[in-house]
Amino acid sequence: MWFFLKKTVKNKKEAEWKFNKRDLCKKRKIGISGFMRIRNEEDYLALAIESYLPFLDELIIVHNRCTDRSPEIANFYEKKYPNKIKVYEYKPYVYPQGSKEHAKLPPSSIYSLVNYYNFALSKVTYKYAIKVDGDQVAIPKVFEKAVEKVLTDNSTNKYYTCKGINLWDSNNKIYVNLNRPYTGGADQGFFPVSKRTYFKHHEIYEVLSHNLKMENLGVLFFHLKGMKKDRGISNYDLHDNPDSFYHQLVKNCYTKPRLISFEEFFKKENLGDDFCSPEDLGIKPIVKRV
């Protein structure tokens, strides 16, 4: 009898974190929700939040396994903008993308990255959603135009994809890393929230499942992962996962990066008049490197 009661209590506790597709079937207001899952993003989190907030109707922030000031920063902004920001702590231990545990766990497990992403998605309340990260800074004019297009189209059948520019700092200056100049594409963008749009399992990472027509909105943000103190590597837990796919990614993109100034990259890619420089948005190196 005691065993049964203990198991029931455990199941009730886990139910708090379990994702159910029915959570995506609520009636929704016209507007756009951003949802952000964070782990140790204190370096640029405040800048990221402030860059997206003017263009979103709400921002959902969910943090997990943080050992830095990320929760404190998120809570500060929730208190400052209580009508637009909601913060949740996802307490189960989430295994990182590329880990052997991620590969083996079913997507319904509360320890799975997939369930974690879906939990965050389930908290949004507006018709459209976009996944944003704590190391991404929206480029104002192009992001605003993208938001206007999504809301004007008011489509339930489109996934508006977008990209970001991977920045890198060296000698206290900002560059673009030509080893991998862009991030995003098919896995980043605006989509209508419904039971048809949710994250599913891939052996390395999570994938957004949908049957929507894809339309590319181009470059909408700067990606500051390569400017973080640890270059954004520690969240992969590579020391615990010697077979992780991300060892090769780090080797390909981070070893001897081919750097180009943003000004040169801007001209090379013909990005257009709506772009501004990273410095114009308050982006700057936070550590001195040689």
pLDDT digits (tens, 9 = 90+) for 173-184: 999 999 999 999
Report the pLDDT averaged over residues 46-50.
Answer: 98
Query: What is the enclosing helix (H) or strand (E) of 146?
Result: helix 140-153
Confidence of residue 12 (pLDDT cuts 50, 70, 90): low
Evaluate whether residue 18 is within a structural domain: no
Report the pLDDT averaged over residues 249-270.
Answer: 94
Residue 10 has pLDDT above 60, yes or no: no
Q: What letter would DSSP give residue 96?
A: P
Residues 242 and 213: their CA atoms lie apart, in Å, by 38
Residues 10 and 193: their CA atoms lie apart, in Å, by 30
Evaluate whether residue 274 is within a structural domain: yes
Buried/exposed 76-91: b ≥16 CB within 10 Å, e otherwise: bbbeeeeeebbbbebe
What's the CATH number where 81 sits? 3.90.550
Residues 146 and 159: their CA atoms lie apart, in Å, by 12
Q: 235: which residues sit within 8 A by CB, 6+ positions away?
A: 39, 40, 96
Q: Within 10 Å of residue 194's Cβ, how many Cβ atoms?
A: 16
pLDDT at site 3: 39
Our measurement of the distance from residue 203's CA atom to the centroid of its chain's CA atoms, rounded to an integer in Å, reads 19
Domain that holds residue 135: 27-281
Residues 35 and 74: their CA atoms lie apart, in Å, by 12
Residues 129 and 269: their CA atoms lie apart, in Å, by 28
pLDDT in tens, 56-100: 999 999 999 999 999 999 999 999 999 999 999 999 999 999 999
Residue 289 has pLDDT above 90, yes or no: no
Buried/exposed 216-247: b ≥16 CB within 10 Å, e otherwise: ebebbbbbbbbbbeebbbebbbbeebeebbbe
Evaluate whether residue 45 is within a structural domain: yes
What's the Rg (C-alpha) of the chain? 19
Are 135 and 226 within 8 A, CB to CB? Answer: no
Q: 118: which residues sit within 8 A by CB, 6+ positions away?
A: 19, 107, 198, 199
Q: 49: which residues sit within 8 A by CB, 6+ positions away?
A: 36, 59, 61, 73, 74, 77, 85
First to last CA, the chain: 64
Q: Which among 129, 156, 139 has a CA at the least distance from the CA of 34?
A: 129
Across all residues in the chain, what is the average pLDDT? 94
Domain count across the chain:
1
Evaluate whether residue 197 is within a structural domain: yes
